[in-house]
């Protein structure tokens, strides 16, 4: 098969058909559904739903193709959108709680200071927009959803503007996440050391995590060298690791040891080395929706896909991301493709069509990596996957697989199976 001929055909069949189909073509014999009710236990294991440090509320909400979760903890309530974001916040909640408990036994004064910092306030998150990048401000510390990127994006959408809280243009050294790095190199080094030890992301958009790390960095700089070196005990990560965890370890080590600029240079060299066009990798590495960690993860997974053609198509698709939730979705897409490449079948090439990323295999199969928490059968879903089914038939793909972050409805599964798709739900979750 000629991979270079696929993109225009794929776009014509999928994207144009989706956006421009006449109204009468949207009505089909198959019954479309309203978003059905989903129970939390269909999505999360018991350890994710509840622990001694957190509880995910049962009132799971569906927003498009994502779930919205409410997570309660001793230090306040989190509103998060998407499975990857919920997993991240649960890890942070449990880590902070256990670390504070450990400090309580060793340094009660420090523990009380940390507890006060990460205790949520009651002020409206709207006040945060006046100073969105200051992790030490009272308004930021009281942000209810603890996700600066999502809050700014929500405000943009509600007000119809593009500049709330973001005065700088995109660039390698101008990124929302990067504002959390202290200007003092000594403080930055201490903060990085604490984050690495506790397996917290120094670029996290969770303002409580940032305030927690800043406090411990100042304590270490002030002579308390043991600050931040607490031991926490958490269950295994709920998602699989590619290449026996080597990729995650390499990214974690690089983020801990390198500056923002050094990470940019390393990722640039890696992407150039696998044949990505300069305009594509510069646009990706300068994209403000992705943190340096996100960029390093996606880069590492693309490097792992050795021999796969058109790897830059993932980066082209990722350029559509508007916020951290979408950025995390593209990180998961990269990991899904790498895991499929490792565990199912070697990939041959990538093709992008909007938010859908298709991979072809050497044996003539196709796999679609979808950054969706939930796939249900709507008119749009019908149009897209009917077009994809026609495309697969025309190109004689023997097997067509959908790789999902989350799950699908019974109706969607039945309709997809009729169109010869195999749905692999919760593709990255451990058995």
Q: Residue 80 pairs with which residues in a beta bridge? A: 69
Start-end of H helices in 29-183: 46-49, 83-106, 108-118, 138-141, 148-159
Q: What pTM does this model have?
A: 0.83
| Relative orientation angle of helices 246-257 and 292-304, to the nearest 10 degrees | 140
CA distance 38 to 301: 31
Residue 30's nearest CA partner among 338, 385, 366 is 385
E strand intervals along 146-292 = none
CA distance 63 to 74: 27
Q: What is the CA radius of gyration of the chain?
A: 22
Residue 35 phi/psi, 5-degree rounding, is -55, 115
Q: Are 406 and 374 in contact (CB under 8 A)?
A: yes
Domain spans of the chain, in order of start: 3-30+239-424, 40-221
CA distance 167 to 190: 29
Residues 6+ away with beta carbon under 8 Å from 60: 38, 39, 40, 43, 67, 68, 69
Residue 204's nearest CA partner among 261, 143, 139 is 143
In this structure, are strands 347-353 and 366-370 parallel, antiparallel, or unpaired?
Answer: unpaired
Residue 44's nearest CA partner among 417, 407, 413 is 407
Start-end of H helices in 199-258: 207-221, 246-257
Tokens of 256: 């801990």
pLDDT in tens, the chain (431 residues): 454 445 444 443 444 344 344 433 444 445 799 999 999 999 999 999 999 999 999 999 999 999 999 999 988 889 999 999 999 999 999 999 999 988 888 788 888 889 888 875 433 332 222 222 333 333 333 333 344 444 444 444 444 433 322 223 333 345 678 889 999 999 999 999 999 999 999 999 999 999 999 999 999 999 988 887 888 888 889 999 999 999 999 999 999 999 999 999 999 999 999 999 999 999 999 999 999 999 999 999 999 999 999 999 999 999 999 999 999 999 999 999 999 999 999 999 999 876 678 999 999 999 999 999 999 999 999 999 999 999 999 999 989 999 999 999 999 999 999 999 999 999 999 98
Residues 6+ away with beta carbon under 8 Å from 202: 180, 181, 191, 192, 195, 196, 213, 255, 256
Within 13 A of 80's CA, how many CA atoms are on the CB side? Answer: 26
Tokens of 265: 């240079």
**DSSP-derived 3-state class of residue 240:** coil
Q: Is 395 exposed, middle or buried (0-12, 13-18, 19+ CB in 10 A)?
A: middle
Residue 430's nearest CA partner among 102, 87, 38 is 87
């Amino acid at each position: 098969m000629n991979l270079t001929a696929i993109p225009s055909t794929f776009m014509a069949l999928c994207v144009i058909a989706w956006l421009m189909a006449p109204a009468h073509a949207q009505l089909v014999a198959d019954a479309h559904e309203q978003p059905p009710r989903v129970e939390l236990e269909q999505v999360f294991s018991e350890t994710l739903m509840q622990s001694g440090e957190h509880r995910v509320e049962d009132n799971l909400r569906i927003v498009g193709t994502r779930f919205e979760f409410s997570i309660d903890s001793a230090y306040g309530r989190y509103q998060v959108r998407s499975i990857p974001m919920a997993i991240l916040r649960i890890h942070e909640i449990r880590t902070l709680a256990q670390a504070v408990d450990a400090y309580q036994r060793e340094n009660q004064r420090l523990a009380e200071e940390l507890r006060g910092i990460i205790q949520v306030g009651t002020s409206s998150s709207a006040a945060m927009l006046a100073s969105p990048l200051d992790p030490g401000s009272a308004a930021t510390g009281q942000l209810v959803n603890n996700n600066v990127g999502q809050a700014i994006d929500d405000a943009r959408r509600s007000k119809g503007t593009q500049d709330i809280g973001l005065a700088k243009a995109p660039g390698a050294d101008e990124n929302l996440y990067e504002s959390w790095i202290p200007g003092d190199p000594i403080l930055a080094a201490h903060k990085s050391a604490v984050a690495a030890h506790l397996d917290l992301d120094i670029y996290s958009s969770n303002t409580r995590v940032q305030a927690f790390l800043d406090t411990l960095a100042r304590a270490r700089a002030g002579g308390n060298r043991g600050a931040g070196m607490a031991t926490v005990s958490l269950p295994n990560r709920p998602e699989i690791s590619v290449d026996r965890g080597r990729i995650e370890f390499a990214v974690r080590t690089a983020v801990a040891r390198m500056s923002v600029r050094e990470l940019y240079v390393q990722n640039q060299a890696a992407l150039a080395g696998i044949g990505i066009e300069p305009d594509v990798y510069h646009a990706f590495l300068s994209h403000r929706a992705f943190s340096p960690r996100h960029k390093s993860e996606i880069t590492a997974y693309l490097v792992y896909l050795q021999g796969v053609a058109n790897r830059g198509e993932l980066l082209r698709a990722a350029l559509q991301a508007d916020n951290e939730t979408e950025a995390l979705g593209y990180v998961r897409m990269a990991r899904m493709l790498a895991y499929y490449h490792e565990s199912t079948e070697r990939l041959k090439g990538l093709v992008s069509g909007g938010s859908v990323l298709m991979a072809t295999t050497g044996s003539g199969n196709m796999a679609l990596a979808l950054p969706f928490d939930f796939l249900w059968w709507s008119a749009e879903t019908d149009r897209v996957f009917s077009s994809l089914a026609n495309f697969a038939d025309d190109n004689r793909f023997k097997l067509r697989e959908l790789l999902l972050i989350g799950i699908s409805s019974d109706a969607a599964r039945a309709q997809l199976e009729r169109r010869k798709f195999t749905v692999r739900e919760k593709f990255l979750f451990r058995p």
